[in-house]
Structure 1
């Protein structure tokens, strides 16, 4: 039975749903659910028909859509039911409002329910939901707030799996976003993810996320690549989400398995077609595959939609250097350094560009400033290795790569495929380092990349 429900309560429950594991990236199903709620509130039975839903929600043409042959509405309704069931089984167990879609009907039901019996669980899950929303902001501040909310939830419910997964996610995300060495963070994240898997009430989506996080930690911190790839494949077998496909593609890319990486990101974008980060990483695959013209097209597409997306900006600037457009690269990195002075990527790129331009004195000044950033904990050693390589200092390059390995620098996974080191790949010492560090895949050929005309 559908009750008259306060609009504010509906919106609060939709926000919790949107931040939950089953719905975090399910843009289509959230849109479908909102439409069904609007129809139910308006008592619009005509709009609840399959034909009307196909046109209004799934953008089918009214003059061509035939529900007998095109089952899009039935298929997505079944998936929506599954996601709602998964949510209310775990994160939404104490929700004040339950949405349900009876089998064989598109008339959404809304059922208020009594306050939870466990007084601690509801506020803990509220903090988890808020933490998921903070993490979805995609910023350092958001990840820090997510960690705080996870700790608050764990203070209320110490073994709550959803809160442990949130904490692990926020820690891993913060390391990846800042790209700064944080030797103690990944082991803490692993401990949280392992503990989450011991919670029998952990939802399937959260369980899958925990396995995916453990794969990322094994890959980037332990540099145990075969184990990481096997684990993410096991996670995909549980629940093939967009995030997991992207994680899989990310790992495959750094292993030099570019065709498989492209296929994985294609799967991710099929599930989440609006993600600009996935699209930018598709460009990164082409960059690492030395297909620079293809990479440039991808970065241009992304920046045409979001001109200040940092990942696309920094990759496009790097591409200028790899493709021989040193002046353009220097200008792009100088712009990054001026606009984002707290990040070292701009200064790192400028130092490389100056070295490639033959301005050794300028490059050494930039390198010295970057070294000061490293000493202050504001720059990763991997960036110093890149600049050393551009300066022709292979001993310095190997020193800083060894430092990156010792500090578990998140960037080190790039070393096997990064064009910045192409001039030194024929040096046996470089190959020995990669093997010792557990990076066994490198790009064949040590010749400089081709130059693309501007």
Structure 2
């Protein structure tokens, strides 16, 4: 039984509920990459309950990563109006300001506000690290990860790569590959670093591994500038097409 059939059967037992349609849309979007089906379910959820926060939030994320930023921002702002204290909504809004929406200063302010709500939440520090990296604030990017007890491999290697310390970046990549023998290391992280170094073939090798593993964050491939060196390559365009993303 494929994942799609399982998703539909599980949700089908609770027809007519906004929560059920939102859950179904999540499976269709992130597990199956059935974007048309996912959008249909998000819209159905909001028809059933126009004030359902999670549907506005998740549909907003769907729209942003699908390249429909203006529509997505409206949904995210509506979700935040309905639940101003929501950590995930505040975090996602800040992240998208930093990346897709091209307003990193506004994004940093939003993320820092979210840190005040949950100073020990690892995800918000990871998003702050990413936002600092988007601005080229490498020391701050590394510190956000280290402050939570992480090794800071990715931001540290990106810092070295961006500042011409190629050998240092390659040493960290070697450490990550060694670490992968005993602990999970995302192929997206290695693809990220190889893209930063301009090593296109290696970057695509790990992007294809991520695709084979159906790594959900591939849905956000259009969001981050780290992939810009790959965008003109036919392999990148083919990957976007297979995921169902537009060419930016």
Partner of 1:441: 246
Say yes or no: does 1:239 pair with 2:45. Answer: no
Runs of 5+ in structure 2 lacking a partner? none
CA RMSD of aligned residues (A): 2.3
Deviations 1:15-67 (A, max 9, x none): xxxxxxxxxxxxxxxxxxxxxxxxxxxxxxxxxxxxxxxxxxxxxxxxxxxxx
Partner of 1:289: 101
Paired residues of 1:354 and 1:363 also in contact (CA < 8 A): yes
Alignment of 1:27-426 (within 5 A): 187=3, 191=6, 194-198=9-13, 202=14, 207-240=17-50, 241-287=52-98, 288-336=100-148, 339-340=149-150, 346-376=152-182, 378-426=184-232
For the residue of structure 2 that corresponds to 1:440, the secondary structure is coil
Runs of 5+ in structure 1 lacking a partner? 1-183, 444-454
For the residue of structure 1 that corresponds to 2:119, the secondary structure is coil
Q: How far off its partner does 1:327 sit? A: 2.6
Distance 2:236 2:15 in 1: 45
Distance 1:399 1:348 in 2: 17
Deviations 1:289-325 (A, max 9, x none): 2211111111121123322222221111111111122
- Structure 1 residues 391 and 333: alpha-carbon distance in aligned structure 2, compared to 1, 3 A threshold: farther
Q: Paired residues, what number?
A: 246
Distance 2:157 2:167 in 1: 10
Q: How far off its partner does 1:196 sit? A: 4.4
Deviations 1:182-223 (A, max 9, x none): xx9x939x626623423xxx485xx32222122112211222
Paired residues of 2:194 and 2:203 also in contact (CA < 8 A): yes
Distance 2:198 2:233 in 1: 12
For the residue of structure 1 that corresponds to 2:67, the secondary structure is coil
Paired residues of 1:249 and 1:263 also in contact (CA < 8 A): yes
Distance 2:167 2:189 in 1: 18
Paired residues of 1:242 and 1:268 also in contact (CA < 8 A): yes
Q: How far off its partner does 1:404 sit? A: 0.7
For the residue of structure 2 that corresponds to 1:358, the secondary structure is coil
Q: How far off its partner does 1:433 sit? A: 2.2
Q: How far off its partner does 1:373 sit? A: 4.0
Distance 1:230 1:332 in 2: 38
Structure 2-normalised TM-score? 0.89
Choose between structure 1 and 2 for higher RCO, CA contacts under 8 A separated by at least 6 residues: 2
Distance 2:20 2:180 in 1: 32
Distance 2:243 2:74 in 1: 25
Distance 2:160 2:143 in 1: 11
Distance 2:159 2:192 in 1: 11
Partner of 1:101: none
Distance 2:18 2:185 in 1: 33
Paired residues of 1:277 and 1:311 also in contact (CA < 8 A): no
Distance 1:374 1:244 in 2: 36
Distance 2:212 2:110 in 1: 34
